[in-house]
Copies of this chain bind each other. A is one copy, B any other.
Amino acid sequence: MTEPGQRRSGRAGAATIYDIAERAGVNPSTVSRALNHPGRVSAATEARIRQAADELDFHANPMARALPTGRTRTLALVLADVTNPVVFGLIRGAERAAAAAGYTLVIAESQESGAVEAATVERVAPAVDGIVLATSRLADDEIGAIAARKPVVTVNRGGSASANVSPDVEPGIAALVTHLADLGHRTLAFLAGPADSWTSTRRWGALYAAARARGLHIVEIGSNAPTVEGGGDAYERCEASGATAVVAYNDLMAMGLIQAARAAGRRVPADLSIVGFDDIFGAALITPALTTVRADLELAGEHAVTHLLALMGEGDAPADCAELATELVVRDSTGPAPTR
Distance of A12 Cα from B64 Cα, bound (Å):
22
Give the Cβ gap from A24 to chain B, nearest Cβ, in Å: 21
Interface string of A120-146 (1 = CB under 8 A from B): 101110110000000000000000000
A: contact size bracket: 35 or more
Distance of A149 Cα from B91 Cα, bound (Å):
28
Give the interface centre of A96, A123, A285 by most chain B CB atoms within 10 Å: A285
Contact of A127 among B13, B99, B104, B107 (CB under 8 A): B104
Give the Cβ gap from A324 to chain B, nearest Cβ, in Å: 19
User: Which positions 57-96 of chain A face chain B at CB distance < 8 Å?
Assistant: 59, 61-64, 66-70, 72, 74, 82-83, 85, 88-89, 91-92, 95-96
Q: Is the CB of B107 within 8 A of A59?
A: no
Interface string of A1-27 (1 = CB under 8 A from B): 100000000001110000000000000
Contact of A83 among B63, B92, B99, B126 (CB under 8 A): B92
Interface string of A243-281 (1 = CB under 8 A from B): 000000000000100010000000000000000000001
Q: Is the CB of A107 within 8 A of B95?
A: yes
Q: Is the C-beta of A171 less than 8 angstroms from some C-beta in chain B?
A: no
CB within 8 Å for A104 and B124 given contacts A99-B109, A281-B281: yes
Q: Is the CB of B109 within 8 A of A106?
A: no
Q: Is the C-beta of A300 less than 8 angstroms from some C-beta in chain B?
A: no
Distance of A190 Cα from B82 Cα, bound (Å):
31
Distance of A274 Cα from B59 Cα, bound (Å):
49
Q: Is the CB of A85 within 8 A of B82?
A: no
Q: Is the C-beta of A43 less than 8 angstroms from some C-beta in chain B?
A: no
Q: Is the C-beta of A41 less than 8 angstroms from some C-beta in chain B?
A: no
Contact of A149 among B12, B72, B82, B120 (CB under 8 A): B12
Q: List 27 A-B contacts (CB under 8 A).
A: A1-B68, A1-B69, A12-B148, A12-B149, A14-B126, A59-B122, A61-B67, A61-B126, A62-B127, A63-B66, A63-B67, A63-B72, A63-B127, A74-B127, A83-B91, A85-B88, A85-B281, A95-B107, A95-B108, A99-B109, A99-B120, A105-B106, A255-B285, A259-B285, A281-B282, A282-B286, A287-B287
Q: A1-B68, A63-B66, A285-B286 are in contact. List 16 more A-B contacts (CB 8 A).
A: A1-B69, A12-B149, A59-B126, A82-B88, A96-B109, A99-B120, A104-B108, A104-B123, A106-B106, A255-B285, A281-B282, A282-B282, A282-B286, A285-B285, A286-B286, A286-B287
Instruction: Point out residues on A near B: beta carbons under 8 Å.
Output: 1, 12-14, 59, 61-64, 66-70, 72, 74, 82-83, 85, 88-89, 91-92, 95-96, 99, 104-109, 120, 122-124, 126-127, 148-149, 255, 259, 281-282, 285-287
